[in-house]
Chain A
Amino acid sequence: MIAYTLLAGLLFGLYFSLVALGLNLVFGVMRLINLAHGDFLMLGAFLAYGLYSSAGVNPVYAIPAEIVAFVLAGVALYYAVVPRLLSSRDPEMLSFILLFGLSQIIEALAVIAFGNDQRAIPATVFGIHPVSLFGQTFPAAWAVSAVVSAAAILAVYFYLYRSRLGHATRAVMASRDEAASTGINVHRVSAIALGAGLALAAIAGAFSPFMLGSIGPDMGIRITTVSFAVIVIGSLGNPLGTVLGGLVYGLGLMLMETYFPSWANLLPYVLLILILLIRPSGLLGKRVRLA
């Protein structure tokens, strides 16, 4: 039982890393908490659902469309809102109000467009046979989600640490004014980061019918809360710290689901409070302070 729980925790941990990765990337670059993060994940879920229900497209094949659509949406959202937001007198407070409002608008529009019903994509889309891992069997959808999540995390690693754009992105994360005075177009770099952040959320959304059970317009706020817990556990502002937070959350969730199922929904809040009490800068907090 424990081996199954731990392995399932790792699979879900990788998935929750992907869920929260975009939120942390955006926070790292812009120092803004995107309160509409979960709503963009929900939109990604509905895009994958729409492609499946209308054309039978496997969610894996929906990923390129998700990336294109959400990178463009992120870049457009950035230039429409963020430069003015950042130049305001109180960008943090204003961003909370604005992004919370955006979250509510997206949810309301989604209710109008899709209705309140919960939707699902049958897990058989990935085949009817379970996947065996270290002697334990898991639904194929879990394994595919974990593999896609790991690939997305690797892509973010190469983007941030092995590309010229990534070096500029990390420079902006370290100091926006110094980066700009070095000749970096911080708005372009930040717009791409927001686009990447939304695209990561959308990819996670494509697999949410399998990992979260079902999708609905009201899922956004819950996802944002979980994502926030994950990045606080790992470390705010350090995108790759999200992986540690995701794994802790995934393992915690599976242990709770197995041994204390009726308490499992409290996990993000309990972990959030614990980490803020014990190590407020997150498990990789030292690096955050230096970042």
Chain B
Amino acid sequence: MSPSAPLLSVERLSKRFGAFQALDGLTLELAPGEVLGLVGPNGSGKTTAINVISGVYSADAGSILLDGRSIGGLPIHRRAHLGINRTFQVPKPFRGLTVGENLEVAAVYSRADRAEIGKCLEFLELAPLVGREAASLNSAQQKRLDLARALIARPRLLLVDELGAGLNPVELQRMAQTLTTIARSGVALLVVEHLLGFLRELTTRVVVMDAGREIFEGSLEVAARDRQVIDVFLGG
């Protein structure tokens, strides 16, 4: 269970795409400043969970509470204004805009202080790239820009979708430190990740999903010895 009153409570969340049941009664809780890993094989519903919580998709059933308030019916931008921000598995920064303009748009529309832009650029080592068009950034830089765009909105809950994918070991280490610093500032992180070594740097608590359901909740170490989790990952 979460150590304090939950910031996010997801109860019996379901989502179906045609004949495919992407989420099937997912339940989880997350406290402020806590980091929860969401792991599972491809197609287990991790990204769908993030998409439903952030509002990209609407849920077929179940509830999403932020600070005890139901947000399931709100559009994405309203959830962003309430403090739910996210990164994307494949970052799509606003490519025709510069790095600075990307953050300026994010600051203006998330009603954040524009003075934070400089600090955010420094924090994510994007300051030297401020005038560069976002389209010209490499993959790792685009991921940092995606994170910066989410951070500038002063999130209370940050949904992180496979931020580690494609990063080299040095970049992974720096990204893990960055996310840890963010969590220590009181931001709750829900981290979808395939790289368990990277996830271990961030948290010990994970929810393991399979076929849209939670099959395990607890520490990564215990999950690694859990028969059902092993079967799911090894296809047994």
Contact = CB atoms under 8 A, between A and B. Distances in A.
Question: Do A and B actually bind?
Answer: yes
A175 B85 CA distance: 15
Interface in A69-117: none
Contacts of A187: 75
A185 B78 CA distance: 8
A179 B56 contact: no
How large, as a class, is the contact surface on chain B?
A: 20 to 34
Nearest to A161: B96
B81 A174 contact: no
A162 to B, nearest CB: 12
Contacts of B96: 170, 173-174, 287, 290-291
A184 B85 contact: no
A31 B36 CA distance: 36
B95 A182 contact: no
A168 B85 contact: no
A182 B106 contact: yes
B223 interface: no
Interface in B98-136: 101-102, 104-106, 108-111, 133, 135
B80 A174 contact: no
Given A167-B104, A290-B135, A183 B95 contact: no
B149 interface: yes
Nearest to B149: A182
A183 B153 contact: yes
A170 B76 contact: no
Interface string A149-192: 00000000000000010011011011101111111111100000
Interface string B188-206: 0000000000000000000
Interface stretch (B27-35, B86-94, B166-174, B224-232): B86-94
B54 interface: yes
Q: Looking at chain A's contact residues, is the secondary structure mostly helix, strand, loop, or mixed? A: helix
Name which of A179, A186, A187 has the most chain B CB atoms within 10 A of its CB.
A179
A290 B137 CA distance: 11
Given A182-B80, A186-B77, A171 B94 contact: yes
Contact of A174 (B86, B92, B111): B92
Interface residues of A, number: 22
A182 B152 CA distance: 9
Contacts of A168: 105, 108-109
A178 B92 contact: yes
B97 interface: yes
A283 B53 CA distance: 41
A128 B92 CA distance: 55
B134 to A, nearest CB: 8
A186 B77 CA distance: 8
Given A164-B108, A183-B80, A183-B111, A178 B135 contact: no
Contacts of A181: 54-56, 76-77, 80, 85-86, 150
Name which of B75, B95, B146 has the most chain A CB atoms within 10 A of its CB.
B95
B95 A185 contact: no
Given A168-B105, A183-B81, A183-B109, A174 B97 contact: yes
13 contacts: A167-B101, A171-B105, A177-B92, A179-B94, A181-B55, A181-B77, A181-B80, A183-B81, A183-B106, A183-B110, A184-B109, A186-B76, A187-B75
Given A168-B105, A168-B109, A170-B94, 5 more contacts: A174-B92, A178-B93, A178-B94, A181-B76, A291-B95
Interface of B: 54-56, 75-77, 80-81, 85-86, 88, 91-97, 101-102, 104-106, 108-111, 133, 135, 146, 149-150, 153
